Structure 1
């Protein structure tokens, strides 16, 4: 790999031939060769902007593969993005779309030895800016031309991501030899009706010879066969399976899958090609029938209602070749452990890898897949109309076999943007994407994947005459909380389904220290500021703190409190939305993951470390949730049951002083049917404090893990006692066990062992203890940690340690 000559590049790169890893990209190759610094550290990203404005050439030589093949095709699974392919000096093709693959017949161009393959990548910037100038500019959320090229939009920067505009052979490239015929398309459509599963297998073949062929399919012990006469290239095979084991989403049953095999045979019976996938029998229904509250957005899988406990998913790395199956599996482990049941693949990234969807199938995680349009007005003129149609068709066919995929979404926020973001005047009648979302894409889905629902946008109300972000209809995004309002504003919404809402917090301390060389490290030091991409992000974080928490005295306090505030904000929102189960049937938090070390809305940071938000999600996304909610002029206890079994329990609700003195107590009998919520009004003696600044309410069913808390005043106004506790540390297998016993109330006890060792992590966080209670935390690290450091500030934190610490 090398920079194309006669360009402005650093001297060490000019003229250098760099070993290229395929799949990969220019950035990762230059980094591996030691020619650029790590773009994720400090502000190196800025100094590397020249890479995206440079043309690059990849080149290799190879011998013709052995064997007698009628055809030899060059198969390019993914080229990023504006590529010219040349074989032995002959131009094979030019491509302009990162999101689709290509296949070219190169049989006649190949020689026995020393074939030369070259792929030149023109600057994505130059291409996009030329298309913008030709078609007329269109508004978007960021000052970059990302909507004028079919490329991962967030390469051009986002309010959580760096501007690192890549180029390269980002997926596999290879020669494929075949004879007579091959399976060009296999598209299974799986349905379930009562006890009967049906697979309609649509097959297209590409021929190199006109003679009869046979297509066979089998699944779950059932077989089907079709003979294709000469010159015919399409077949439909139907397999009917009685009482198949169903695929269920996590929390509802096992995600059973069945091997579907399709084979292509020559007239003599020899096998020419074969195709294998693991499919799942399940039905998916989206209920949007208007009701007295507007119109719902409610999922039924196998006719069982599923409350979506979701997270938005962004690319896990700016450089996709670094996202291995092992890394994805770890991220999915984190999602499952946080009781998440759906991942929404956001429209500014990529269609994810085969590993991603296979892991989702395997684990029963639902997937909502956006088509790749986000936060911009997209041109519908050529070449984009043709490219979008080809891209969408290819990806629908590729992903159709996956039972985890339950919804196609036309775009992220573009219809909303057209309505509310002052787009209409600058567009002056030019195209902006409506034709994609409301005409082209639904037509493709109806033709190629009619078993799945399609929703034109996120957010979308269901009809053009209703505002796209109307909370009473369809899906809603709530961003006024982060941008302008206090997070208690979530309680002012009664949405049918919240597809995006989020609140920021910084990454783990060890992540910051790896990525930033700031000395001293402060909330607004240069590296921190560079790794905060949101507009006025630092100011918004401080605004959120001021509304709820004591004033931080130093960076350690700021880091702890902003992470805590993020967790509190999202927990409040989720508990509110789930407490209205039935009217609201889903919440998708922005966001699960990060693509680099950054202050963002994620629950898991760019180095894969869990933030306090992750622990909060684990609690508020549990199958059974107990929560105290304001109702009218009082308070109510709401029990939410997302399991398939009834929940019967006695809940004890107590009003206490902060020192633990009982003021009032009541026992409430709960009977919560499966897949429902029950609301019980609390009596005034519990809901009305004598001294709001010195009292709290706690409700539990006998298991402290399902405790519900209510504080009558904000932390900044409560008369907290100085935190006092006893702590012991003892070794355990693979780590250490920290036991904390409260002598005073301890609010949201959290350990940060990564401050002592970057490998360290803890199993629990945000634990509130009343005087006399204890909690045990298990810390795992590569080596034992210092016991004194592990049990003192800044590693061990609680809200009231800001009041000073009493001696042990």
Structure 2
């Protein structure tokens, strides 16, 4: 097999649509892989779509067509030789011509395409052209053909196989890309090639399924090597299976449960001793199970690896950049490492994005981060007729095959909120009997997985209650399957989580703006207002700012000053995150999963992400890290009682004596006690409290504190707007250290949620901790890393050294 990349010498130009005069007719250098947006950005012909109101100014892209051109020089095919032109990804509606001859049309960015071009090759250069039509106009055409289907946004994203959030989402821009977004090459081969290789590893066995494409009928041999073991198979037809027992194989474990050994696998296709083709991958030996058995609460939803039940500490994952071709392995490593640093053990690849690159799954394999994989269908009804049906099934087959080696992949999921939408979002009236996707979720995907990957469990949709007719048991029933909790954010308050005890919560979250440095790099100083057009363009949620304000009003006054409001909303997101996760974890093993919406952003935006579009950590990330820690103390409600939950998700017992104190904000001791705890590994124990600890006399100025082994929980008896905080509760000093600064904070009165918003001083500055509660006389040192040289006093300025205390008072300009 000879592979020749065709990534050089491309140009791109507009061929139709409302193209601005300065761009129409120009042939520009094109980067392949790439997209038109990135090429025009590089040429300085469009402004950065992520800044200000530029997204709106670039809406003309939606109905524009493009042409990519290069020349190919390739010798004519030798007798018996095949030559294929291979595109790993075309975004999205494309017509391909070689030497003036149309060789194919595509309408799916989620799969690759292969064209036999041996009859077209000749000596001398040949033009290769890829025409891209407007994906929006194609979707509108398909919608007219198959009928309109319900969806939450104006564009018919459910009528074309393109990244759904390309068309805008409640956290993402409406930038509809086009281009050769993955690799393109010529492949020359003879006799036969490996068409598909599926290595399926369980705890002590490797099963490799091989499919070949033949150019002749000569006998073939498949050789499989895993570690130090090799097996051979004589292949008479075009399919075969090689099984290799690997007794004592090193087990692959999720993060927090063990190591992640990866074993190389090589598959060679041979004829008369000649290697015709090779396939290389890595596998991890482990077993995966999903327990959905009935119990006294309903039905379980518990994932196990190697027989060990896993409480999922998860995050939802969206594409790391809306302009996908800018995502590098290094960016993926940094993003996944931020999840790991927050004690996360699972990422859910959400169904409105893409099938992620091999780099993403490799990184997760190496770090022990489990992957929940949605099929890319989200928040809409999907037609089961052509031309969509065959494309959805083809992309599913290709990507199931591609992803089977990865041990991190633990669960397949049919789609996002589609089953729920069919039941609750007035779809049935709109559909009037039309297809909506049920066949995909209940028949097609299970059948494909039974054929291609029977080693992993399948879930028909998130949320859903498998085994029950949705008409009888609601898809979002907290007693069964998976639940999404969005009433808290949309209509109630984060304390609304107490109303339900889901078996597994696969979506919930709370919004906040991005970090200050990200915000000021995105919009002009004059737009740092909640009602500014540029700020609102980067707040995509329906009534998002209204929900932020109402969420604040449950707990504290809504600041009028924008900088104070920015901090208050970030703090409220952090509290909402910790509150919901504490609730979920405290109910284990009834509840066995928490997947927060969401880890990351694809551009600078106010959203539910804990890491913003520039990769900066929001306060909620620190709250998440603490809430997902292996050992956690948290005060929880059980009916009308307040109890202390000791959560031990480590593999060793947690023993010690909890120190309990009810103190006045000025440090006066009011009541004290202790609890001896012995919490077994991977378990939760609830402790009732001495009534004296809860017998508060002055709810506006008392706090209950629990301490054990470096873990602290605090419980307040009133909301912030009623608390008698001392607004000058802390003093601080900063000193220069190697690699940054050290900021030491000492409390003279109870100080809640103390934080150093370091990026306000220098854009690259990061604090090691945040949201620290201090009793009078206590000290905490924040370590800030930065390359900047600044005055240390800048880190103690009021707009940088923040806490909850001042937010309960009339806001001050910060």
TM range (shorter): over 0.9
Residue matched to 2:227: 220
Residue matched to 1:155: 166
Residue matched to 1:790: 795
SS of alignment partner, residue 693 of structure 1: coil
SS of alignment partner, residue 617 of structure 2: coil
Q: Give 1:143 deviation, angstroms.
A: 1.1
- Which of 169, 176, 183 is matched with 2:187 structurally? 176
Residue matched to 2:728: 723
SS of alignment partner, residue 134 of structure 1: helix
- Output one character per residue of 1:582-632: Cα deviation in whole Å (capped at 9) or x when no partner: 000010000000000000000000010000000000000001111111223
Cα distance, 1:65–1:625 mapped onto 2, change above 3 Å? farther
- Which of 286, 302, 307 is matched with 1:303 structurally? 307
CA distance in structure 1 between the aligned counterparts of 2:558 and 2:578, rounded to whole angstroms: 22
Residue matched to 1:777: 782
CA distance in structure 1 between the aligned counterparts of 2:597 and 2:779, rounded to whole angstroms: 33
Q: Is residue 291 of structure 1 aligned with residue 285 of structure 2?
A: no
Residue matched to 2:260: 255
SS of alignment partner, residue 777 of structure 2: coil
TM-score by length of 2: 0.96
Q: Is residue 444 of structure 1 aligned with residue 448 of structure 2?
A: yes
Residue matched to 1:351: 355
- Which of 108, 111, 121 is matched with 1:97 structurally? 108
SS of alignment partner, residue 36 of structure 1: coil
Q: Is residue 427 of structure 1 aligned with residue 437 of structure 2?
A: no
- Which of 741, 749, 754 is matched with 2:754 structurally? 749
Q: How does 1:628-639 map to 2 (within 5 A)?
A: 628-639=635-646
Cα distance, 1:67–1:92 mapped onto 2, change above 3 Å? closer
Q: Give 1:550 deviation, angstroms.
A: 3.0
Residue matched to 1:116: 127
TM-score by length of 1: 0.97
Q: Is residue 136 of structure 1 aligned with residue 147 of structure 2?
A: yes
Q: Give 1:744 deviation, angstroms.
A: 1.7
Residue matched to 2:648: 641
SS of alignment partner, residue 402 of structure 1: coil
**Which is further off, 494-503 or 62-71?**
62-71
Q: Give 1:725 deviation, angstroms.
A: 2.4
Cα distance, 1:659–1:16 mapped onto 2, change above 3 Å? same
Contact 1:52 1:167 in 2 (8 A): no
Contact 2:549 2:558 in 1 (8 A): no
Contact 2:67 2:130 in 1 (8 A): yes
Q: Is residue 483 of structure 1 aligned with residue 490 of structure 2?
A: yes
Contact 1:518 1:527 in 2 (8 A): no
Contact 2:746 2:778 in 1 (8 A): yes
Q: Give 1:215 deviation, angstroms.
A: 0.7
Q: How does 1:368-767 map to 2 (within 5 A)?
A: 368-462=372-466, 463-464=468-469, 465-703=472-710, 706-767=711-772
Cα distance, 1:793–1:742 mapped onto 2, change above 3 Å? same
Contact 2:644 2:688 in 1 (8 A): yes
CA distance in structure 1 between the aligned counterparts of 2:634 and 2:59, rounded to whole angstroms: 48
Q: Is residue 30 of structure 1 aligned with residue 40 of structure 2?
A: yes
SS of alignment partner, residue 169 of structure 2: coil
SS of alignment partner, residue 242 of structure 1: coil
Q: Is residue 18 of structure 1 aligned with residue 28 of structure 2?
A: yes
Q: Give 1:4 deviation, angstroms.
A: 4.3
SS of alignment partner, residue 179 of structure 2: coil
CA distance in structure 1 between the aligned counterparts of 2:287 and 2:527, rounded to whole angstroms: 56
Contact 1:351 1:395 in 2 (8 A): yes
Q: Give 1:634 deviation, angstroms.
A: 2.3
Aligned-pair Cα RMSD in Å: 1.4
Residue matched to 2:269: 264
Q: Give 1:314 deviation, angstroms.
A: 0.4
CA distance in structure 1 between the aligned counterparts of 2:641 and 2:376, rounded to whole angstroms: 45
CA distance in structure 2 between the aligned counterparts of 1:793 and 1:432, rounded to whole angstroms: 54
Q: How many residue pairs align between the two structures?
A: 797
Cα distance, 1:325–1:638 mapped onto 2, change above 3 Å? same
SS of alignment partner, residue 343 of structure 1: strand
Cα distance, 1:335–1:6 mapped onto 2, change above 3 Å? closer
Residue matched to 2:97: 86
CA distance in structure 2 between the aligned counterparts of 1:13 and 1:553, rounded to whole angstroms: 44
CA distance in structure 1 between the aligned counterparts of 2:631 and 2:63, rounded to whole angstroms: 52
Q: Give 1:520 deviation, angstroms.
A: 4.9
Q: Give 1:804 deviation, angstroms.
A: 8.4
Contact 2:77 2:83 in 1 (8 A): no
Q: Is residue 50 of structure 1 aligned with residue 57 of structure 2?
A: no
CA distance in structure 2 between the aligned counterparts of 1:618 and 1:560, rounded to whole angstroms: 19
Q: Give 1:518 deviation, angstroms.
A: 4.4
- Output one character per residue of 1:95-116: Cα deviation in whole Å (capped at 9) or x when no partner: 1111000111111111222111
Q: Give 1:75 deviation, angstroms.
A: 0.7
CA distance in structure 1 between the aligned counterparts of 2:59 and 2:179, rounded to whole angstroms: 16
Contact 1:218 1:239 in 2 (8 A): no
Contact 1:575 1:620 in 2 (8 A): yes
Cα distance, 1:380–1:520 mapped onto 2, change above 3 Å? closer
CA distance in structure 1 between the aligned counterparts of 2:504 and 2:162, rounded to whole angstroms: 29
Contact 1:724 1:805 in 2 (8 A): no
Cα distance, 1:6–1:386 mapped onto 2, change above 3 Å? closer
Q: Give 1:333 deviation, angstroms.
A: 1.2
Q: How does 1:308-323 map to 2 (within 5 A)?
A: 308-323=312-327
Contact 1:100 1:390 in 2 (8 A): yes
Q: Give 1:387 deviation, angstroms.
A: 0.8
Contact 1:518 1:525 in 2 (8 A): no
